[in-house]
Each structure stands twice: as C-alpha cells, then as structure tokens.
Amino acid sequence: MVRHERVAINGAMCDDPFADIATDELIFSVDGVEWPYAEFASVVLHKPAGYECSRKPQHHPSVLELLPRPLRERGLQPIGRLDEDTTGLLLITDDGQLNHVLSSAKRKVPKVYLATTKHPLDQGQIDALLAGVLLNDEPEPIAAAAAEIAGNQLLRLTVTEGKYHQVKRMVAAVGNRVEALHREAVGEFVLPPELKPGEWRWLSNDDLQRLGYAK
C-alpha cells in the first residue's frame, strides 16, 4: 500500500515502506481514512451469545472471530471472561498492564450485570445479596457491591470479584435462577449504546480514564 502511494503520514504521502516514523502525535491515513497511532490495541465489543472468550474455543466460535484479522494476529486477549450465553460489554486488548489492572482481584473493579431471573425478585433476596452469600468452595460469604430490582424478574447486580459463574451462583444462593445475563459496565465505563451485538470500536483515552487507566 505504501509503494502504491495509498498511505500518508501526518498528511504527507509516504512512498518508503522502511521509513522511520516518529510516533508522537502520529496520524497516518490509508486511502484517505485517518488512523491515529496507538502502541496497544484496546477495543470494546458488544458480545453476543454463542461465543467463547478464548483463543482456543471448545464448543462455540471464539469471540475474537468478531474482530478483523489484523487485530487477531496482534494477539489480543479478552479481559476476563463472559460465559458463552452471557452478552454485553467485553474489553479486549494486547496491553498486558491494562489487562492486569482490570483483572486484579486486589483492585476490586466493579462490574455491573443485568440478570433476567426465573422467579420474581423480592427485597429479601436483595438484602441477602448485599449481606453476603456463601458459595460452594468459598471460605467466606461474598457480598454484592450493589443490588437492586430493575423489574419484576430483572436484577441489576454489581460485583467486584471475578469468581467462576459468580453472578449465577450468587442468585442461586438466594433461591432464584439466572435465565439471561448481560454485562452493562466495568468501572465507570458503560457499554456504548450505539454498539449492536457483535460490533466493536476502539477504546479512546476518555474510555481508559473511565476504566481508571491512564498513562
């Protein structure tokens, strides 16, 4: 593309594929479309059901197949995992530090889920979730950071741990069952409403700041 003069660097056509380019405030364009330079590739995806958050899926397609091949070849990884049947906000990156910051149990990054339950919710279930429920294989009760009834069978739940099937197990512990699960937010970053299931976009600096991550 460079040899065919399809690439411009900061507005000037480049015809040398081996040119050394300063990356500070770099903007290059391909066929007239501008692309700001980024050392790392970090994106947000509206995950649909039916995809596994793994580079080596076992039973369903990998969620990475929803990204363009050049991104997949960079070695991007999902930050945390959503079950195959869980939808919503999924962050994917090749920035190891960002992955660590958002995945570390010590940082207790809040994650907000909207759960559709099998049975109607009541205040007793909410109180139990806020007080803490004991899950199998866990030595201490785990409490929700926030919980509210969002509808007759809709629960908005905020957790700060990343336990296996945590939301489903917590709801089961108070005598109910999750029929559908959707992640709405991570930290202060909310799933962009314009993203339809299967769509993605780059994370901006403002997005990273909402996630508590800024360089």
Residue 85's SS3 state is coil
Strands 87-93 and 178-186, sheet pairing: parallel
CA pair distance 117, 106, nearest whole angstrom: 30
In the chain, the amino acid numbered 145 is A
**Consecutive H or E run containing 70:** helix 69-73
Q: Give the residues across from 149 on adjacent strands.
A: 155
In the chain, the amino acid numbered 27 is I
Token pair 């699960």: residue: 181
Q: Of residues 15, 16, 24, 83, which has the active-site annotation?
A: 83
Helix axes 166-173, 123-131, angle to 10 degrees: 120
In the residue annotation, 83 being an active-site residue is answered as yes
Catalytic residues: 83
